[in-house]
Structure 1
Amino acid sequence: MCTTPSSAPPPPPPLPPVTCESKFKSNKPNEVSEDPSICEWASSEVDLKKACITYQICLTRAPFRYKYKHFQYILQEGPTCGLVALSMLIGGEVAPEELLNLSKFLGYSNNGEMLSCKDMAKLAEKVLNLAEMENITCTLKKGGLYSPEIIEDLLNGAILLVPYDADHNHSPCLKQGHTAHWALVCGIIIIEDPGEANTDSSNVYVLCRHGKSKLVAAWTLDELHKSNMNLLEFCPKKAKDGLLYVQPEGGLGGENGLRDQFLLFKYT
């Protein structure tokens, strides 16, 4: 009996070319690159190194200047992003659940929402006292998020609590306040020597924690500033979702709201 020989199997597909990006990024999102030369300057801080690899910042050489302070992440439940960020700031000494109860008692929130920087500043003062953290001062700031003064404060170890609009990936966007979120700014990276001009908005990154991710985010200070400036109104959809929210007099864009405001924490 005659048989027909089977055809040879097709050759394997060619290997993908090795690019700079594939070299620097891991196939696993939470895994740091195995190449020790990548972000070697950040090797003492695993979360900082992950952030710089993820956002492709200073991969092969150290930045001009940087400062980073580690905070343990806390993931939020419900609309408690501001309370979670505040709890991260104090190392969980007062848990988000306790902050929610306290904010309800004080009339600042019903569901965990914090739609007033003034109320957040008053809550922060009480929480710092509860946690007996006398070495931290809290100041409500109006304007000047993207300024030489704030940049210098961050380089000297200050921490910010900033409201902004969050996109689908939680990065800053411009949705008029409809996706208002809070971020804990725990570091800064200045990539190149800015010289005297200091006008390159892509040269200054801030390192941020927030309640919807375990990872440290890196955004330009300029985009965070612009997002903070566009917090004009409460989300119309949320206004009709059947829950009662504590909204500030004058709305998000007013002096009692969120727009162009943030909290500055300094260690003494």
Structure 2
Amino acid sequence: MYPKTLPLHGTGLGLRRPMLKELAATDLSRIDFFEVAPENWMQLGGRLGKQFRALTERHAFSAHGLSLSLGGPEPLDLDFIDQVGHFLDQHDIHLYSEHLSSCSDHAHLYDLMPIPFTEEAVQYVAARIRQVQDRLQRRIAIENVSYYTPLATALSEAQFINAVLQEADCDLLLDVNNIYVNSVNHRYDAAAFMRSLPAERVVCMHMAGHYREAEDLLIDTHGASIIDPVWALLQQTYTHTGPVATLLERDFNLPPLAELLQEVAQIRHYQHGSEHDRLHA
């Protein structure tokens, strides 16, 4: 019903409030877009609200939600969806994405819980995604999430994601670090998993760091630098998807902005390399 678009391009950075002061004194010409969690910004006023508005007037933005709870047991919060829709329109935000997870049960759990990998869950979640898209009158993207204990495995993780995408007719925000984290924790081949997902539905990608708790347990923290195997997986992913818009996420342990921009530049380098390879293949 809602046509697929590719509204973002190049490299992006997840915007966090502590960055605002440094951003004002930084050359942002190499950042093509920013991403925010709407829950953290849509009620913001005063000085911070004005700073945010000034950024959305000059730069492309995407929004990555935290609390829609697509797999949750309660009815969707329609008032909240309307507030998100107003925020997206007010700031001309190009893309709205959400996690393929559950995060509430009579209250917010403040964590992203996995959804059972079953046919019943496919139908349930897809219906909720379609409801959100109808309410917003726009296509949304869902993100593959990290998880630590599967709730049910009638379908594989890849089969579940593919089935939801097909049934809901929505897009995919592909988190490369989450694939790597899950591949270690659940012992599968990260590159093979990545290639099993539909390249034509990928509208944006995320890159981030994680914490190594043990050799066989990684924790998705967004609190560290990206490691070499995740960079390598990104390069492999570009051969599957092409140089899709890609964003750096960092949620805490924030280093100086210049250090984050080095990782953004590394993403850009791999994007340009993949585009060169495609043109000369």
Common fold by TM > 0.5: no
TM-score (norm 1): 0.26
Asked which structure has the greater RCO (Cα within 8 Å, sep 6+), the reply is 1
Highest CA radius of gyration, 1 or 2?
1
Greater helix fraction, Structure 1 or Structure 2: 2
